[in-house]
C-alpha cells in the first residue's frame, strides 16, 4: 500500500491527506497559495471546509501560525481559492 502523507489543518487540527489540503507558504516575507505543494519556505495546511474558513477569518489563524500579521489580502486570496 502506498503511504499517503498526512498533514494537519491549522484550524480544525484534523489530519488529511496532503493532496487534499491547501498549502499556504511564506517565502521572503510574502504569502502565497502553493498549488504545486513543492515550494520551499514555511508552510501551513488548511482543509478548506466552510467551518474552518469562517474560523480562520475570524480568529486570523494565519497570524498565529506564522507569528506575524498576515495581510487581509492573503486571507482574501485564500478564500477565493477555497470557493473555487
Ligand atoms: Zn480544517
pLDDT in tens, 54-63: 999 999 999 9
Ligand 1 geometric centre to CA of 58 (Å): 14
pTM score, whole prediction: 0.83
CATH code for the domain defined by 6-83: 3.30.1230.10
Sheet with 30-33, strands from edge to edge, namely 30-33, 22-27, 42-46
Domain residue spans in the chain? 6-83
Collect all residues with Cβ–Cβ distance below 8 Å to 40 and sequence separation of at least 6: 25, 27
pLDDT in tens, 25-49: 998 888 989 988 788 888 999 999 9
Ligand 1 geometric centre to CA of 49 (Å): 6
Provide, rounded to the nearest whole percent, the portion of the chain with pLDDT above 70: 99
C-alpha cell at 50: 466552510
Ligand 1 geometric centre to CA of 30 (Å): 23
Ligand 1 geometric centre to CA of 15 (Å): 8
Amino acid at each position: 500500500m502506498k503511504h499517503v502523507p498526512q498533514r494537519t489543518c491549522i484550524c480544525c487540527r484534523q489530519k488529511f491527506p496532503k493532496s487534499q489540503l491547501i498549502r499556504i507558504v511564506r517565502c521572503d516575507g510574502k504569502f502565497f497559495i502553493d498549488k504545486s505543494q513543492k515550494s520551499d519556505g514555511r508552510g501551513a495546511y488548511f482543509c478548506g471546509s466552510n467551518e474552518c474558513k469562517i474560523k480562520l477569518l475570524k480568529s486570523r489563524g494565519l497570524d498565529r501560525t506564522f507569528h506575524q500579521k498576515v495581510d487581509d489580502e492573503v486571507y482574501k486570496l485564500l478564500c477565493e481559492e477555497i470557493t473555487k
